[in-house]
Chain A
Amino acid sequence: MEKSFLLRSLSFALVLLALFFPVPFLLAHMSMDGPWFDPFLGTVVWGAFLQGFASALISLLLGVLGAFGLLSLGQKRSRRQLALFYGMLILPGFVPPIIVVALVSKMFGFLPLGLFGVVFFHVLMNLGLVSVVFHRILLKKTNLWVRDALVANVKKIKIISGLMSALRFDLAWLFFYFFVLYFFSFSIPFLVGGSQFGGVEVFIYEKVMFFGQWGEAIYYSMIFFLSMLGLSSLLVGRDNIDFKPLRSNTFFIEAVAIPWGWVVPVLPFFLIIGGLVLSTSQIPMPSVFSALSLSIRGSLIVALLTGLGTFTLLTLVAFSFCSDRWSRFLLAMVHPGWVVVGFAFLLLGGVGQVSDFLKIGSALTILYFPFLFRLAFYENLQHLRQQVLVARSFPVSWLKIFSQVLWPQCLSVMALLSGIAAVWACGDFAMTGLLSQSTEVSTLASDMKGLLANYRIEQSLLYLWPLVVVSALVFFLFQGLAYVGSKKTSS
């Protein structure tokens, strides 16, 4: 057998091992007793489906509008300004949900609840991300198509509807991505969904937290995992997605821009900032800020570990460059559940701050990886399939193909996704709370949660400012990986 094949298989096996170890590990350690059917399963799944479907649909509708709005900003702004604007759009998605809920309800003076509340906050937090992703799709894929339409003197509205039709698989894919994200969403349904729209993760959490039934928790997490796998394989047919990009300047596509559309995705950012200003303008600096440096250090460590963990997993996936079938498997994969992953890491043992941080970073990597792979990495690998096929027809080693073909073209996406993972990790308080056994292990987000549990709501909101700074810092640190890696090519 070819040596490179063994190495590739080994790296893919490592990825699978990292992603799936929590389930067999828990199965081996916990007693699997308890009832195996909950009469409320149907209600919970239906609630999660309904909120996931509505949230994804509305996010997509508004996000597409926002993306057409963003087209109007392209030529007039520098890359840096555009990056800053992108940052503003996607920021609400990275702020801890409890803070978003608190700030927005402060801003509006009411709290949306139930199905409406879940959909409202999901859309609010992810609208910017949908706009940015679809904006990039428009730039990448449709410029020449629009040029031809303009030459043929086709009306703007017809061009837009033609674009929608041409990009239907991308839209379907975006819909599916966000549907899965919302279906398995933990915090928002937990906070505002009430009982009926509390979400499937809460349903699993309840089995452990309230009943101490591990068998049930793992059983349901497997049911949800397999259902998503089945659903995604139905949705993603073999030839469904056209990933051939058309690269050119973006001049023509701007002709179909909707100039006011960018206002829609930028609204959530201003809602959050407005709520923040309202909530913190009259509060003196609290004494709890004295220990801020320790929490900043903790947040940086968790973020860097998660970012590096994600980068490592993505590198292993890129190196293994698994078959289309396995790629689709990873694409369809969801994590085995927050509580299952968390307790599996607890079982690993090890005491002390270093061990706590390592476990938090690893657990968050496992949780975020499926979403990040689906967000951009699968598409990136699919683009390269043809090139790899051609490269393999020459007598060159796999290592050379990887370093010359795969690695340079994956690096920017890997850096972006690792940056996103790092930012998400900055906002995590649930996994940090579960896995940090030492008192010295604290992060900004876990401190915020701690202050909330101690009546200090306003003080906790003050932590949002350093949290945003740390998040931005780690995001740009990971973007630096792509920058330095591609320096020579661009010079």
Chain B
Amino acid sequence: MNIRFFFIYLFGLVLALGVLFFPYFMFDKQPLRDKNSLRVMTYSSFIQKWGAGPEIARRFKEETGLDIQWINAGNAGLLIERLKFKRESDQPDMVVGLDQFSINEARRFFEWHDVHLINDEIEESLLPEGGHFFDFVAYDWGPLTFIYKEGEVDPPHSLLDLLEPKYRDHLILQDPRMSSPGLQFLLWVVVTLGQEKAFDYLEKLKPSIKVMSPSWSSSYSIFKLQQPTLVFSYFASPFFHQIEENDTSYKASRFSEPHPVQVEYAGVPKFCQNCDGAKKFARFLLRTDIQKILMTKNYMFPVDAQALVGSPFKVPKDVKYLKPIESLSLIKKKRDLVNLWKKAFY
């Protein structure tokens, strides 16, 4: 046993770790609480290299001098839980990425500045009715439906169509306990068919379901790798394939029933320290050029109609939407609904 060699090697490993760590030690951005910085908490894909965050932050700094310090909350569904865990000194000035379901929780645990009127400053708003509520700024939105590849699957036109034998083992859905689109689908069925019929419907739908995925990302991955299938996703999803892959075969199916709508919100909590900066950023998110960035990075529809000009994005016409605010009363009963869902699927 050569202790000397061992310790030299171990020291080498620790040194290597130190070298790898060095840039972080040197340039570790400590969250300075000054007038020139704004701390924004959001989900990870928003601030990753290919997300909308970095470009928006760069432009915001250029114009206002305010340096955005992103706080990564990981999964969008964990934003509120993460907020609960933050110490007072670490709290963000703003939260970006809440949806209509998490807003309820957000209001239950924290107080928020009322910034929703910023939405009214848009000349021509695309936000569907009932998407504009409470104290938050809606910055993008997306109706949900089943996405399919043209020529491989006949598109369904109603919820009842999905029960047909031709869709047997074809549907990729998300687990409502883990995924916001999954919860949207459950609420869509409940709102459309009524609570009693909804669970009979879900029982009947079981043979059509290929996979109940835990997240939108894994469900979409399975969809891309497993054709022919239909995945519950956003109306804007086909634009990704059109723009990034030059593939126009991905389509969004149009249902006779009103489609559920996912709206993304930004909020300014009362405990913010740079509240003015946060409100400035909320307004900045709705500027046409920033709306364009959000649209092409998030693949969601903008709230400002001007952002669509010159882009291949088109908001579907002749499609009815469920009012996002309608789901709020249902979400209060989410434990009961999910237990019924479990009864159907366990």
Contacts and interface: CB of A to CB of B under 8 A. Distances in A.
A195 interface: yes
Interface string A336-363: 0000000100110101111001000000
B164 interface: no
A484 B9 contact: yes
Could you say which interface size class chain A belongs to? 35 or more
B72 A351 contact: no
A146 to B, nearest CB: 32
A486 interface: yes
B8 A484 contact: yes
Contacts of A486: 1-2
A434 B9 contact: no
Interface in A296-330: 297, 300-301, 304-305, 308
A111 B9 contact: no
B290 to A, nearest CB: 18
A308 B14 contact: yes
Interface string A87-119: 000000000001001100110011101000000
B72 A191 contact: no
B20 interface: yes
Chief secondary structure at chain B's binding surface:
helix
A454 B72 contact: no
A357 B21 contact: yes
B211 interface: yes
Contacts of A40: 339, 342, 346
B129 interface: no
A455 B28 CA distance: 31
A437 B72 contact: yes
Interface stretch (B73-81, B138-146, B154-162, B302-310): B73-81
A431 B243 CA distance: 33
B2 A485 contact: yes
Contact of A457 (B70, B220, B338): B220
Given A102-B221, A291-B49, A454-B50, A438 B85 contact: no
B24 to A, nearest CB: 4
Contacts of B176: 210
Nearest to A404: B1
B177 to A, nearest CB: 4
B339 A39 contact: yes
Given A288-B49, A346-B85, A353 B237 contact: no
A399 B53 CA distance: 55
B251 to A, nearest CB: 15
A111 B229 CA distance: 12
Given A354-B21, A408-B1, A439 B72 contact: yes
- With a 10 A CB-CB cut-off, give which of A195, A196, A481 has the most chain B CB atoms: A195
Nearest to B343: A40
Interface stretch (B40-48, B116-124, B258-266, B280-288): B40-48
Interface in B242-300: 244, 299
B2 A212 contact: no
Contacts of B214: 190-191, 198, 202
Contacts of A343: 81, 85
Contact of B345 (A98, A194, A450): A194
Contacts of A403: 1, 3
- With a 10 A CB-CB cut-off, give which of B9, B71, B299 has the most chain A CB atoms: B9
A111 B211 contact: yes
Given A111-B211, A191-B218, A346-B82, A206 B44 contact: no
B225 A209 contact: no
A353 B82 CA distance: 17
A113 B85 contact: no
B14 A353 contact: no
A308 B227 CA distance: 44
A452 B221 contact: yes
Contacts of B225: 102, 105-106, 111, 279, 457
Given A194-B345, A438-B71, 5 more contacts: A195-B175, A351-B31, A451-B50, A453-B215, A453-B217
14 contacts: A102-B222, A102-B225, A109-B226, A111-B222, A208-B81, A304-B13, A346-B82, A352-B29, A404-B1, A437-B71, A440-B29, A456-B50, A481-B6, A485-B9
A-B pairs with the 10 shortest C-beta distances? Answer: A488-B2, A195-B345, A485-B6, A408-B1, A453-B217, A433-B74, A453-B45, A353-B24, A484-B5, A452-B217
